[in-house]
């Protein structure tokens, strides 16, 4: 099988979570149109590219000590990727606000889809090195990035009205992301723990999509809420 067909199969496998989520969203939240879904996916891909560029600027890890490992996992990877996700979601939500009144669940949904866009490309890339890892990542990395995307979208929405909660959501996303990566790279931790972290992160983030909340948190009448 040619390299192109392998890449296409990897992309199709990595896209399964995004397809499932799109069907779920269309059944529960018809306001999330195909256009917004695709734009959010593209935003997630852009955040991946931005994070990769920033990560390439970090100096090589000089040692395998515990401090270096934690710095790489929680700062170079988790913090950089979650920050790039936030930065990418800000203009996306501004564009959405210009066309309609949006609430926190809608912002969280766009974050979810952006996270899946990030995961789609990342999983396909890792699958090129090991094709067996693609489906495994579809059931771990996709929920993980989706959960962190939900928290990032809600954080951007609440940044002006409730900065403390927005900061908590961002920090929790970084911590969850780092904890997941730590279980992946540590031979002392069971691989099943990564699945538990990803699934738990997703289910604890879903209420941000389902909950309407107070009027002052869920209705945007001014673009300054997202700045």
CA distance 5 to 169: 40
Length of the chain: 227
List the one residue out of 126, 145, 146 whose CA is nearest residue 136. 126
What is the pLDDT at residue 197?
Answer: 94
Q: What is the pTM of this model?
A: 0.86
For the chain, how are helix, strand and coil distributed in percent, rounded to 5?
80, 0, 20
The pLDDT tens digits of the residues spanning 77-98 come to 999 999 999 999 999 999 998 8
Question: Residue 122 contacts by C-beta under 8 Å, 6 or more apart in sequence?
Answer: 48, 137, 141, 145
The pLDDT tens digits of the residues spanning 158-211 come to 999 999 999 999 999 999 999 998 988 887 888 789 889 999 999 999 999 985
How confident is residue 7, by pLDDT bands cut at 50, 70 and 90? low
Q: Which of 48 and 6 is assigned the larger pLDDT?
A: 48
List the one residue out of 147, 116, 85, 107 whose CA is nearest residue 17. 116
């Amino acid at each position: 099988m040619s390299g192109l067909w392998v890449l296409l199969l990897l992309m199709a496998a990595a896209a399964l979570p995004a397809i499932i989520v799109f069907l779920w969203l269309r059944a529960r939240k018809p306001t999330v149109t195909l256009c917004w879904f695709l734009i959010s996916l593209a935003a997630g891909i852009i955040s991946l590219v931005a994070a990769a560029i920033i990560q390439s600027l970090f100096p090589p890890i000089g040692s395998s000590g515990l401090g270096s490992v934690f710095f790489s996992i929680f700062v170079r990877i988790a913090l950089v990727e979650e920050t790039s996700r936030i930065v990418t979601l800000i203009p996306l939500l501004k564009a959405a606000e210009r066309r309609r009144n949006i609430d926190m669940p809608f912002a969280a949904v766009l974050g979810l889809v952006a996270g899946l866009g990030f995961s789609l490309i990342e999983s396909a890339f890792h699958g090129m090195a090991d094709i067996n890892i693609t489906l495994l990542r579809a059931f771990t990395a996709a929920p993980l990035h989706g959960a962190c995307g939900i928290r990032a979208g809600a954080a951007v929405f609440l940044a002006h009205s409730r900065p403390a909660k927005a900061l908590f959501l961002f920090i929790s996303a970084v911590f969850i992301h780092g904890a997941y990566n730590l279980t992946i790279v540590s031979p002392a931790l069971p691989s099943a723990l990564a699945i538990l972290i990803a699934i738990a992160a997703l289910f604890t983030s879903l209420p941000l999509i389902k909950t309407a909340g107070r009027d002052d948190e869920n209705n945007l009448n001014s673009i300054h809420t997202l700045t």
